[in-house]
Amino acid sequence: MDSRAMWMRLKTRRWVYSFSIVSTLALGILIGTVVSFGVKGKEGQKSSDATPLVIPSPKQLSNEFSQIAKQLGPSVVNINTESTIKSPHRRRGGQPPDDQDNGGGGGMDDFFNRFFGGPGGQGGAGGDNSIRERSLGSGVIVDPKGYIVTNRHVVEKADRIRVRLQDDPPGIQHDAKVIGEDQETDLAVIKIDLERAVPSAKLGNSDSMQVGDWVLAIGSPFGQVGTVTAGIVSAKGRDIVPNRQFQTFIQTDAAINPGNSGGPLVNLDGEVIGINTAILSETNAYAGVGFSLPSNTVVQVYNQLIGPDHRVARGSIGIMFDSVENPAITRVYGAGSGVTISSVVAGSPADQAGLKVGDTITTVDGKKVSKGSELVGDIASRKPGAKVDLGFVRNGKQQSTSVTIADRAKLFAARLSDDESGNDESTPKQSKFGITVRKLTPEMADRLDIAAGKGVIVQDVKGGSFAEDIGVGRGDVILEINKQPVNSEDDFAKAESHLKSGQDVVFLVRPRGSSRQDGTIFMAGTLP
């Protein structure tokens, strides 16, 4: 008997055994019922005032979910991709090298790969030191001509993309081509060419959704095509990946698993109000926390990706700021509210307009801004070449300037790989912040693309220290402390000596592995 026959036999016995238990239980219940009917009421007890129970007529229960599933199901597709990558070099003992962000996506790629079967999934080694990989995802047709929205990480770097429609016979798949991709939102548009129109979904307004509203997720988790799960909107405006300025998500508890990525989140009007993108889980499977990119963002990106350039153009002025609001930064830089600049890209519109590190932008064309997301959303929505008036505070004084919007993709195109900080034989000094710093040598400054004589490099960070708590790490370069330049160990010690417990501390830092183009960030907190 082969293994399959044995499994089927065991399965059959299991069901027979289960049925025997159920039958026995049912018999016991039946006997008990018969016995209860045989018990007579006590003599003299009256029940003429009791109202007889009535079995209601059969009625149709709520069928909204089933109707939506029937309506939207045919427009949801299963996406299979194949790609060829070079086999990673092995270290001694056959272990792969540690994961590093080499400028190609880094942590975000790892995040999606773990949860949604991106590169690194199933595959086999090729004869030319390469690996053939396959990944699985979902998508939703938004145009009867065959245009499909999905996640970029589902189709990224794929040699072949094949789409299966829900009404296709088994084994039938359609080749698809990529129309456009957007790394910032992790969205992609692909297209299949058929001689007939295909079922398409209608996109709704994600802003209309409220926390607690019912939603359905439709897709192909673990390859199970046409799976429908239900839940609610758990939260809105979630930021789940640091420094992803154009990704704020709808959180839902509708079950989302590997293979759902790129599929739709649907409201009870049968409208797509999100594209399922990620989950939060310690087991790589559903744990009640899923994230969907809002449909309003999807529409904006889609309309540009199907345009002549097949890309998304976003405005930028060439500044950076701390992505997490920190009151210490506001107090040290003396602005009541606004967005404090932590870095200005050399030669950028902001640089040409005279903006500097430490300036706090408070208005855009007279409209008040208090959060970085508001500033980015406004500037990004403007076309390159347009002009904007910015109000800002510098050293407590209100000022203004006119800035010409640039193309964000071109402005931030240069990305350099992670650099090691190198070794030096000089003796480092220990800081009460819990860090060891060392002056940059000319060779180190050149390699890190930092002006000669500027900054100190962090050689060590003590666990549980103030520096570790605010995010300072080994290899970071500290350029300023509370607006004071730090160009040597002595400068660092001097700045440190003036600070006491309870005071705000703001470091201006070039993070380890970042280039001048990447800019600087603030790391701040209140000294314990």
Distance between CA atoms of residues 341 and 354, nearest Å: 12
Residue 348 annotated to the active site: no
Provide the residue type at 253 as one letter: D
Distance between CA atoms of residues 170 and 10, nearest Å: 28
Distance between CA atoms of residues 182 and 278, nearest Å: 16
Provide the residue type at 44 as one letter: G
Bridge partners (DSSP) of residue 308 are: none
* Count of CB atoms situated within 10 Å of the CB of 433: 26
Please list the helix, strand and coil fractions of the chain in percent, rounded to the nearest 5, in that order.
Answer: 25, 30, 45
> Tokens at residue 402, please?
């006119």
Provide the residue type at 283 as one letter: T
Instruction: Report yes or no: 254 and 217 within 8 Å, Cβ to Cβ.
Output: yes
Distance between CA atoms of residues 384 and 458, nearest Å: 38
Distance between CA atoms of residues 327 and 525, nearest Å: 8
Choose, from 83, 109, 153, 514, the residue flagged as catalytic. Answer: 153
Residue 153 annotated to the active site: yes
Residue 348 DSSP label: S
Choose, from 75, 135, 234, 261, the residue flagged as catalytic. Answer: 261
Choose, from 75, 83, 109, 186, the residue flagged as catalytic. Answer: 186
Residue 342 annotated to the active site: no
Instruction: Report yes or no: 246 and 297 within 8 Å, Cβ to Cβ.
Output: yes
Which of 245, 227, 246 shows the shortest CA–CA distance to 286? Answer: 227
* Count of CB atoms situated within 10 Å of the CB of 235: 13
Per DSSP (E only), the strands in 309-405 are 315-316, 319-321, 339-344, 360-364, 367-368, 387-394, 397-404
Distance between CA atoms of residues 445 and 457, nearest Å: 10
Instruction: Report yes or no: 248 and 237 within 8 Å, Cβ to Cβ.
Output: yes
Which of 215, 287, 235, 216 shows the shortest CA–CA distance to 257? Answer: 287
> Tokens at residue 234, please?
């758990």
DSSP string, 398-442: EEEEEEE-EEHHHHT---PPP-------SPPEE-TTSEEEEEPPH
Three-state secondary structure call for residue 330:
helix
- Strands 367-368, 122-125: pairing is unpaired
Instruction: Report yes or no: 386 and 402 within 8 Å, Cβ to Cβ.
Output: no
Q: Where are the alpha helices (DSSP H) in 207-338?
A: 295-305, 327-333
Burial-class residue 336 by CB neighbours within 10 Å (0-12, 13-18, 19+).
exposed
- Residues with catalytic roles: 153, 186, 261
